[in-house]
Amino acid sequence: MGMVGGGRGAFIGGVHRMAAALDGEIEFVCGAFSRDPEKSKASGEDFYLPSNRVYGTYMEMIEQEKKLPLGERMDFISIVTPNHMHYGPAKMALENGFHVVCDKPLCFDMNEALELEKLVKKTGLIFALTHNYTGYPMVKEARAMIRNGELGVIRKVVVEYPQGWLATRLEESGDNKQADWRTDPKRSGIAGSMGDIGTHAENLAEYITGLKIASLMADLTIFVKGRKLDDDGNVLLRFDNGAKGILHASQISVGEENALNIRVYGEKGGLEWHQMEPNTLLAKWLDKPTQILRTGVGELSPEAQAHTRIPGGHPEGYLEAFANIYRNFALCLRAHLNGEQPDSVYQDFPSVSDGVRGMQFIEKVVTSSQQDKWISL
């Protein structure tokens, strides 16, 4: 693995490195960690990388790594930069034969997203998008139950992602990089909370249900005076099977942490899952008591079992879910390099096409809110 971004002081870069290392499938060999070559060099020293594998730019990294022999060069890049810096390294990597893992959302705008999707199809390379919440075992279980028809036809989906960390104008403090770029339209794109966490809610709803959002009606708000992008949003959803839904994402919900949760209701039953209590899935039925399903306990689906790492009663969380995506990507990449077909259970990770869906969602939500009308996806 070679990394783009994620140098000193970067939150998500550290998460990616830990997740990639957890299963011993991936070796971290090089990186271009900052636009500042000196900071990149210093970050490489922090990560105990040899100086000749630490680069000043991602362009230099891709060019120099391509010259190395197979088995020594990096096999893929992991992009952990702000949104506006996803497209460039992803495009160059694909054009030069390197596979890609990219943080979400896919890129800055819809045009970039469609270009990357075309490149992935043209090259046949593997592209993973780290919508990490899809990596939880009980999310896999919920998806399997719905796919197997246990809930019957899905009628209603309620998905929420409230946070409270941007309830004040934190970006003005000058010492919070996360708040700074996420509220800047030049780096974040056309949406704030909806681009940052609303896309997680959209992806989770489509992933678990197997349905696609067909149209939406959105109401975005900037509550914090002086902020340039939405910090709160409410969206009505219509799915392609006729189901209806509600999605809300907020970063001004005081006291909330990362309270992503989803409830799905079908003809026969319902499911409820909370990210901050990720090892529990509630299954609710018309004709019997509510079931409490737990990670690693009892007979779960093959998909849930394949993504469960430790015995029941030992909490699995955010890093393990993130690592499931990296492990699945690594096993598929290994099979690709060996000319083999990977086990289907490990082909389960978000793709470039999921990233395009996320960018469509962002674009349509903003348009709907501006025009105050229903918009088709």
The CATH number given to whatever domain includes residue 13 is 3.40.50.720
Pair (148, 97) in one structural domain: no
Pair (188, 298) in one structural domain: yes
Pair (139, 124) in one structural domain: no
CA 358, CA 83: separation in Å to the nearest integer?
13
Pair (44, 96) in one structural domain: yes
CA 370, CA 108: separation in Å to the nearest integer?
19
Cβ atoms of residues 27 and 58 within 8 Å: no
* pLDDT per residue rounded down to tens, the chain (377 residues): 999 999 998 899 999 999 999 999 999 999 999 999 999 999 999 999 999 999 999 999 999 999 999 999 999 999 999 999 999 999 999 999 999 999 999 999 999 999 999 999 999 999 999 999 999 999 999 999 999 999 999 999 999 999 999 999 999 988 898 999 999 999 999 999 999 999 999 999 999 999 999 999 999 999 999 999 999 999 999 999 999 999 999 999 999 999 999 999 999 999 999 999 999 999 999 999 999 999 999 999 999 999 999 999 999 999 999 999 999 999 999 999 999 999 999 999 999 999 999 999 999 999 999 999 999 99
Pair (123, 207) in one structural domain: no
Pair (114, 140) in one structural domain: no
Pair (170, 148) in one structural domain: yes
How many structural domains does the chain have? 2
Q: Does residue 285 belong to any structural domain of this protein?
A: yes
Cβ atoms of residues 108 and 189 within 8 Å: yes
For 203-230, give the DSSP string. Answer: HHHHHHH---EEEEEEEEE--STT-SS-
pTM of the model: 0.95
